[in-house]
Structure 1
Amino acid sequence: MATGAEITKQNIRQFVLDLGVDDVGFASVDDYVSPRSPAISSLFPTARSMVVMAYKEPANCDSASPVMAVNGRLDLMEFSRSCNYKLSRFLNREYHTKAMTVPVSYPVNMAGEGKGLIGEISLRHAALAAGLGNWGRHNLIMHPRMGSRVIFSAVLSELELPSD
């Protein structure tokens, strides 16, 4: 018999997949480990879990045209931001929880020690914690179906959900 947390995860997973997202995983904030990023508690002290969404890169990135390649990425970023927003509103409405979105790679802080290379939340580490893949030799997450041509976004919430 499924637990309350498992039923909640099933409902959220179905909502996310119905948006058109390629894959989704869940991670407890306690299972997220990113040594170079700020602690999640410094960004959202009451966060308990994250929903991590995986998006396959469009074929545009294969184009010799920089315009075509960049526009494919911009399309994907716009779609992922919309999914983040819709999921955060769904969590708030259906589960009466605070939810905070984590965008695809932007904006980044180009100042300081990280020089734009360290995100507030490392989506690669989040994807790993959410069971969406494993590290490849190139330091990217290898998704079991989409390989390394995948990007991630996430939504943090106060829901107590176990990692996948």
Structure 2
Amino acid sequence: MKQLIKKIKELAYQLGADVCGIGSINRFENAPAGFSPLDLFDQCQSVIALGLALPKGLYEVPPRLLYGHFNRKICSILDAIELKLARELEERFNCLAVPVPCDAPNEYWDAENMTAKGLISMRHTAVLCGLGSIGKSSLLINPEYGNRLTIGAVLTDLELESDDLQPDLCIAECSRCLDSCPVQAIADKRVNQKLCRLNTYGKTARGFDTVNCNKCRTVCPVRFGKTG
């Protein structure tokens, strides 16, 4: 099995992923009803989580246009990697593989509270596949890439051994993300999406999407990883 896992991860990196982790379906037994990998693919035995990191430089400039543009762009790049990986897995290892979009499309939308949910929670998928921990900001923190990762996943009927879970990477005494939020949208490792969305997203006069706030990401002392 270790050789198979090695080949899968090498393939993921060759296709362009920055990180790759694996979690057995047993780790997902507490997923909310309707948002388990098994709700998408009932033959799923393992979940392969993939991540791509934004450049550090995007954290050093105003987020309105540059950060927002590339934060959206990275989703399509990662989805393409997932699709290629799923096809390669099926061809090489005689299995079934289902790529799951890292963001849209998805079904769930609570209009009153402006709350969306993905097909599965990619942050929690990353944690269960050994790629990091959830910080006070509710963002995933990875030891090498900090909070810069976008996460996607491939579900497969291959039975694979889980990677070790990461320790809590959030600094216990730190509260920078909570203190810096202009609308106090963060509490208990959760974000009030309505408060956050109304403060964060907008449009230019020409109709281009903007991101007007990413302070919870940029003020984090481990935003670039443990060795940042």
Q: State the TM-score, normalizing by the size of structure 2.
A: 0.64
8 Å CA contact 2:17, 2:50 repeated in 1: yes
Q: Distance in 1 between the 2:97 and 2:32 partners?
A: 23
- Seen in structure 2, the aligned counterparts of structure 1 residues 148 and 37 have a Cα distance that, compared at 3 Å, is farther
**Which of 75, 78, 84 in structure 2 is aligned with 1:77?**
75
Of the candidates 86, 91, 94, which is equivalent to residue 93 of structure 1? Answer: 91
Superposed CA deviations along residues 95-140 of structure 1, whole A, max 9, x for unmatched, are 1111111111111325459955222111111111110011211122
Give me the identity figure in percent. Answer: 26
Q: How far off its partner does 1:76 sit?
A: 1.0
Q: Which of structures 1 and 2 has the larger relative contact order (alpha carbons within 8 angstroms, sep 6+)? A: 1
Native 8 Å contact 1:61 1:72 kept in 2? no
- Structure 1 residue ranges without an equivalent (≥5): none
Q: Which amino acid aligns with 1:34?
A: A
Selected match of 2:26 from 12, 24, 30 = 30
The 1:36/1:137 distance shift into structure 2, 3 A limit, reads farther
Q: Is the 8 A contact 1:50 1:154 kept in 2?
A: yes
Instruction: Find the counterpart in structure 1 of residue 148 from structure 2.
Output: 149
Question: Which ranges of 4 or more aligned residues in structure 1 deviate by more than 4 Å?
Answer: 112-116
- Would you say how many aligned residue pairs link Structure 1 and Structure 2? 160
Residue of structure 2 aligned with 1:52, choices 49, 52, 55:
49
TM superposition shift of 1:151 = 1.2
Question: What is the RMSD of the two structures over their aligned residues, measured on CA atoms?
Answer: 2.1
SS of 1:132's partner is coil
Corresponding position of 1:118:
117
Moved more, 150-159 or 110-119: 110-119
| Contact 1:48–1:161 (CA under 8 A) maintained in structure 2 | yes
Which protein has the bigger helix share?
1
1 CA distance for matches of 2:60 and 2:104? 22
Higher radius of gyration, 1 or 2? 2
SS of the aligned residue for 1:66 comes to coil
Q: Is the 1:109–1:116 Cα contact (8 Å) retained in structure 2?
A: no
Distance 1:36 1:150, change over 3 A: farther
